[in-house]
Structure 1
Amino acid sequence: MALNSEAILKVHNLTKSVQLEDKTLKLLQPINLTVNSGESLAIVGSSGSGKTTLLSILAGLDLPTSGEVYLKSHALHQFNEEQRSKVRADHVGFIFQQFLLINSLTAIENVMLPAELANQANALEKAKTLLAQVGLDKRADHYPSQLSGGEQQRVAIARAFMASPDILFADEPTGNLDTATGLHIADLLFEMNKELGTTLVLVTHDEKLAARCQRQVVMDSGVLSEVLGDVQASDL
């Protein structure tokens, strides 16, 4: 299966199962999904419905049990970890719900890391600009243990922006932030989506954030369905 000229991501009959002693737990039922370049997509649904599992597979962080996953024409389902890591480095940004900052690095060093690994020039200046955009320019030399949960999330967001990715995956990007900071971060996400043409795929329980996306899909017990109308708050 080949991607069309507009699609950046496509999955076909994707499934994920795990073996628990004497039974198989089906986390994802056969899923088909196409995301076009520059699109913003929200994946909503109740806790435990499979949203984060799906996001991890779409980003090449995990492999499906069966089915096909294409990102920028790369067949991720056929790649080993080294090959998928290369695709992520070249094309993907990921905002983790658990931050996943490196404790031995300062805020600005955490933000700079993707650019340094890719030998990009002007990493320091770009990192300074990004930290200022998320309101942490005065906390640049602080370590993760010296930052609040919300501040750590903002560092993680700045780090995801560092590589100017083609597609940005975000797992509850505003879930650990106060309302005002969450609105600011959401504005940054959609500014990047609009001005840089970065494709945005996010998992969220925030109905206002989901409503800002061009399209929404709902996960329910591992089944993905398109939202045809307004999503009810109880579904988020």
Structure 2
Amino acid sequence: MKLESDIILKVTDLAKSVSLENDILDLLSDINLAVSAGETLAIVGASGSGKTTLLSLLAGLDVPSSGSIELKGHSLQKLDEEARSAVRAQHVGFIFQQFLLVNSLTALENVMLPAELANMANAEERAIELLKQVGLPDRINHFPSQMSGGEQQRVAIARAFITSPDILFADEPTGNLDSKTGRHITELLFDLNKENGTTLILVTHDEKLADRCHRKVVVDSGRIVDEQSAEVETLRTVNE
């Protein structure tokens, strides 16, 4: 049973619809979810099931048609874009499948960017430390075009953690990587997550990645149709 004081994200009766020419398309319906601080949660489902739409709503990148989203005490559905952006800057980190690094910035500058926007005093020092943690001390002054996909994703992970977010959203973080590199990124992501005590919510097609999470929810046709504990798989992975 989750204590209310432990819940960092609470979703109640969430729905999202879009208007078409002669119809209304329901993307999500009747979503209810509570996530505790420090928890790791995987959202899984087939392509087109609504999981990425759900992630966007949870992160405040989009607004629901109805229902409520409480993130660290903020009712996202009641906020305008400027206010939601402020909540994201204060509490949220992102990792995307496409990395979304700024091509004109070095690895160090990419990692520093969120910290500079948040006026962190030690942005460069923190960025260098994180790049060392993700195994890229020799890539600090390299541009994205000079790095492999796995290296770019490691930079993206360092960037996501620099502001010490309360909650981290990851959309297919290993989707563009080969299996070996994907495994390395998975280990890195969970190591940093544990070290920083960050809540992690990720969308993935990778069952092995999903099984590393404390819990996973299955989305189908815009609804949560199943919820599973991954503790057995997690323990098996740790013991292998």
| Native 8 Å contact 1:111 1:155 kept in 2 | yes
Instruction: Kindly state the Cα deviation for residue 89 of structure 1 after the two structures are TM-superposed.
Output: 0.8
Name the counterpart of 2:206.
Answer: 206
| Native 8 Å contact 1:153 1:176 kept in 2 | no
In the alignment, the residues of structure 2 paired with residue 86 and residue 209 of structure 1 have an alpha-carbon distance, to the nearest angstrom, of 30
SS in 2 for 1:57: helix
In the alignment, the residues of structure 2 paired with residue 136 and residue 86 of structure 1 have an alpha-carbon distance, to the nearest angstrom, of 30
Instruction: Kindly state the Cα deviation for residue 103 of structure 1 after the two structures are TM-superposed.
Output: 2.2
Question: Is 209-218 or 114-123 further displaced after alignment?
Answer: 114-123
In the alignment, the residues of structure 1 paired with residue 166 and residue 91 of structure 2 have an alpha-carbon distance, to the nearest angstrom, of 5
Name the counterpart of 1:26.
Answer: 26
SS in 2 for 1:61: coil
In the alignment, the residues of structure 2 paired with residue 199 and residue 189 of structure 1 have an alpha-carbon distance, to the nearest angstrom, of 12
Instruction: Tell me which amino acid in the other structure corresponds to 1:162.
Output: I
Name the counterpart of 2:162.
Answer: 162
Superposition pairs for residues 2-151 of structure 1, below 5 Å? 4-151=4-151
| Native 8 Å contact 2:13 2:32 kept in 1 | yes
In the alignment, the residues of structure 1 paired with residue 52 and residue 112 of structure 2 have an alpha-carbon distance, to the nearest angstrom, of 26
In the alignment, the residues of structure 2 paired with residue 64 and residue 165 of structure 1 have an alpha-carbon distance, to the nearest angstrom, of 23
Question: Is 34-43 or 130-139 further displaced after alignment?
Answer: 130-139
Cα RMSD (Å) of the superposition? 1.7
Instruction: Kindly state the Cα deviation for residue 134 of structure 1 after the two structures are TM-superposed.
Output: 2.4
Instruction: Kindly state the Cα deviation for residue 100 of structure 1 after the two structures are TM-superposed.
Output: 1.9
In the alignment, the residues of structure 2 paired with residue 62 and residue 39 of structure 1 have an alpha-carbon distance, to the nearest angstrom, of 23
In the alignment, the residues of structure 2 paired with residue 116 and residue 62 of structure 1 have an alpha-carbon distance, to the nearest angstrom, of 25
Instruction: Kindly state the Cα deviation for residue 93 of structure 1 after the two structures are TM-superposed.
Output: 0.5
Question: Is 100-109 or 8-17 further displaced after alignment?
Answer: 100-109
Instruction: Tell me which amino acid in the other structure corresponds to 2:88.
Output: R
Instruction: Kindly state the Cα deviation for residue 29 of structure 1 after the two structures are TM-superposed.
Output: 1.2
Name the counterpart of 1:192.
Answer: 192
SS in 2 for 1:184: helix
SS in 2 for 1:67: strand
Count of residue correspondences: 228
TM-score under structure 1 length normalisation: 0.90
Instruction: Kindly state the Cα deviation for residue 181 of structure 1 after the two structures are TM-superposed.
Output: 2.6
Q: Provide, for residues 90-111 of structure 1, a one-character-per-residue CA deviation record: whole Å limited to 9, x for no partner.
A: 1101111222222221121011
In the alignment, the residues of structure 2 paired with residue 168 and residue 45 of structure 1 have an alpha-carbon distance, to the nearest angstrom, of 20
In the alignment, the residues of structure 2 paired with residue 181 and residue 174 of structure 1 have an alpha-carbon distance, to the nearest angstrom, of 8
In the alignment, the residues of structure 2 paired with residue 131 and residue 58 of structure 1 have an alpha-carbon distance, to the nearest angstrom, of 28
In the alignment, the residues of structure 2 paired with residue 169 and residue 17 of structure 1 have an alpha-carbon distance, to the nearest angstrom, of 22
Instruction: Kindly state the Cα deviation for residue 136 of structure 1 after the two structures are TM-superposed.
Output: 2.6
Name the counterpart of 2:152.
Answer: 152
In the alignment, the residues of structure 2 paired with residue 71 and residue 12 of structure 1 have an alpha-carbon distance, to the nearest angstrom, of 12
Can you give the 5+ residue segments of structure 1 that lack an aligned partner in the other structure?
231-236
In the alignment, the residues of structure 2 paired with residue 93 and residue 85 of structure 1 have an alpha-carbon distance, to the nearest angstrom, of 12
SS in 2 for 1:120: coil
> Alpha carbons of 1:25 and 1:124: their partners in 2 closer, same or farther (altered >3 Å)?
same
Instruction: Kindly state the Cα deviation for residue 164 of structure 1 after the two structures are TM-superposed.
Output: 0.9
TM-score under structure 2 length normalisation: 0.89
In the alignment, the residues of structure 1 paired with residue 30 and residue 74 of structure 2 have an alpha-carbon distance, to the nearest angstrom, of 20
